[in-house]
Amino acid sequence: MRKDYFTVKGLGESELIIQKSRFLTYVNRADSEQQAQAFIQEIKSQHKSANHNCSAYLIGEHDSIQKANDDGEPSGTAGVPILEVLKKQGLKDTVVVVTRYFGGIKLGSGGLIRAYGKATTEGLQASIIVERRLHLLMKVSVDYSWLGKVENEIRNSTYPLNRIDYAESVELFLYVPVLMEEYFFEWITEMTNGQANIKQHSQDFLDFDI
């Protein structure tokens, strides 16, 4: 399972005018091909009168799913340039749609490749790029007498607190970066004089703006 990777936080948009043609770029995260296709269809439905709605997406840890669509532009002049920008910037689980309203001046193959590449780059610049880092969700169970100290220490630490469950004992759920679990165990054990029960609950990705 991947430990960390770069993607977009959510929807990003930009607009570019080249030789009177209007290029509207839409960027979004897509964790599956179904999500990517749904986003593409959503943009197409918003711009039914556009000359072209070209798109590309990369999905999966090893970019196992990657598609490019020229949507009527000359082969290789739109979808592939969009895809190449995504690869060059090292983004994963990302879909891009570039909508073009033709302005009456033909750009030629080279001009189209540059235009779609630039439109994609500007769309990504208008988006929030995040690093998704794999964390372990740890469950720390302690007696109620330890709650005040443990909760205070955790809230003042770098470990994000997920939630607290009040049951027979207090269960605090917090995120620990992968490869930091040994240090975390030692920290909690020392804090509670060995009175805490520590277990890994699950694995989750957390987003960090870059």
Residue 151, φ and ψ in degrees, nearest 5: -60, -45
Instruction: Catalogue the E-assigned strands of the chain.
Output: 4-8, 12-18, 21-29, 52-59, 65-69, 94-101, 129-142, 161-166, 170-177, 197-209
The answer to whether residues 76 and 112 touch, using CB atoms and an 8 Å cutoff, is: no
pTM for this model (two decimals): 0.86
Q: Is the pLDDT of residue 9 over 80?
A: yes
What does the pLDDT look like over 40-71, one tens digit per residue?
A: 999 999 999 999 999 999 999 889 999 999 99
Which tokens go with 96? 């891009």
Which residues, at least 6 apart from 98, have a Cβ–Cβ distance to it below 8 Å?
Answer: 23, 24, 25, 26, 52, 53, 54, 55, 78, 82, 116, 119, 120, 123
